[in-house]
């Protein structure tokens, strides 16, 4: 998962980042309204963990910006405020869930995972595409009942392709999704081709089909053979 943590309290922000990063997620952070707005205006996230009370602005305006811009990022509001009005306002604006501080990090992660699964895979914990069977909880991939070992990046890229099947995704979108905004410093995206080559090879060797097609000059598309 690619997560944006918008929280001005440094201790909590660092704790959330460490917890999610340890679970193989890519995390970016913002400590105030301006930096959060800049990030969600440029980059896309599987889920934005969003505090309501921020320096220089209100977190609810971030939710409104996302929805007004037509972006489909998941949003989980976290706030010390426990009023029904705040919760309903956030949900009415388009947030997916609301968690009141203090909370256990394990519950936060479960809720974020549920949001991402619901948005990307219709709430399923098992994802099936023809002969490819993915257990999202165990993070295992099978082709015709044969378990395939993917690296973390290969697994994340395969999920990204399936979640966007039938759509052309650019190299820059793939890179930014898998490595975050730090990828901006990369000179080229040759490493993406290496990951795609490995995915293709492993699928075919297990008796599967090669669903990844190059859209020359644009990127790649995961589609039916």
80 or 141, higher pLDDT: 141
**Does the structure show a pLDDT above 60 at 94?**
yes
Once rounded to an integer, what is the mean pLDDT over residues 36-61?
A: 92
Pairing of strands 212-215, 219-222: antiparallel
CA 78, CA 104: separation in Å to the nearest integer?
Answer: 12
Q: In a 3-state reduction of DSSP, which class is residue 29? A: strand
24 or 1, higher pLDDT: 1
User: Tokens 């973390």 identify what position?
Assistant: 152
* Cβ atoms of 43 and 181 closer than 8 Å: yes
pTM: 0.70
- Banded pLDDT at 118 (limits 50, 70, 90): confident
Once rounded to an integer, what is the mean pLDDT over residues 42-58?
A: 91
Once rounded to an integer, what is the mean pLDDT over residues 188-217?
A: 90
- Banded pLDDT at 23 (limits 50, 70, 90): low
- Banded pLDDT at 215 (limits 50, 70, 90): confident
């Amino acid at each position: 998962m690619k997560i944006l943590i918008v929280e001005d309290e440094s201790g909590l922000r660092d704790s959330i980042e460490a917890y999610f990063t340890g679970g193989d997620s890519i995390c970016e952070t913002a400590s105030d309204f301006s930096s959060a707005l800049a990030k969600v205006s440029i980059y896309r996230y599987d889920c934005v963990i969003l505090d309501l009370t921020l320096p220089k602005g209100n977190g609810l305006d971030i939710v409104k910006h996302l929805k007004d811009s037509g972006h489909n990022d998941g949003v989980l509001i976290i706030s010390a405020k426990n009023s029904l009005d705040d919760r309903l306002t956030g949900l009415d604006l388009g947030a997916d869930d609301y968690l009141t501080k203090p909370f256990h990090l394990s519950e936060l992660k479960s809720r974020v995972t549920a949001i991402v699964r619901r948005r990307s895979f219709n709430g399923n914990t098992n994802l099936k595409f023809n002969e490819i069977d993915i257990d999202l909880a165990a993070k295992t991939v099978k082709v015709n009942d044969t378990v395939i070992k993917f690296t973390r990046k290969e697994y994340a890229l395969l999920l990204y392709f399936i979640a966007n099947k039938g759509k052309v995704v650019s190299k820059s979108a793939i890179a930014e999704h898998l490595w975050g905004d730090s990828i901006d410093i990369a000179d080229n995206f040759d490493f993406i081709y290496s990951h795609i080559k490995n995915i293709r090879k492993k699928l075919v060797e297990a008796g599967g089909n090669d669903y990844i097609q190059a859209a020359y000059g644009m990127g790649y598309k995961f589609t039916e053979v």
